Amino acid sequence: MIGVGCYFLARRPASITLGKNVIINDFCYITACYGIEIGNNVSIAEHVSIRDYNHEFSSTNIPISMQGFSGSPIKIGDDVWLGRGVMIASGVTIGKGCVVGANAVVTKDLPDWSIAVGVPAKVIRSRKPDSVAENPDEIYSIKGSVQI
């Protein structure tokens, strides 16, 4: 599902790849010069910005708008939730099962199962219980529920 007002741009030869069951809420901005890969079962809240490039600005003799771009691909793993207003910077990998809090700016890789918040985003804890099986097809029982 893709919400209203979303903007996607992939400059050749880059691509934006969406996995299965991806939800992208309203007014998200996703642009690629190097490649963006979004895994399965990812939830992206409103006003999220994912951009794999940035303007060059090293020269003071050339207008910034004429200096070109630099960057690298972004990878977002399976079962990730990006909160409202999150910004993902160039070259970042967000691991499987991560949760990124609202308005965080992710500038560095996040390991699997991390919960990250802030500007810049910092991991505050892990959401992976020790007892979780590695097989995603397995059914987990939660506090007294019956496994079928």
Query: Can you read off the two tokens belonging to residue 142?
Result: 């939660």
Yes or no: say if 93 and 110 are a contact pair by the CB < 8 Å rule.
yes
Name the catalytic one among 11, 55, 127, 128. Answer: 55
Yes or no: say if 29 and 48 are a contact pair by the CB < 8 Å rule.
yes
First-to-last alpha carbon distance for the chain, in angstroms, is 30
Query: Catalytic: 55?
Result: yes
Separation CA 55–CA 64 (nearest Å): 7
Query: Can you read off the two tokens belonging to residue 119?
Result: 């500007």
Separation CA 33–CA 65 (nearest Å): 16
Query: Can you read off the two tokens belonging to residue 118?
Result: 């802030």
The residues annotated as belonging to the active site are 55
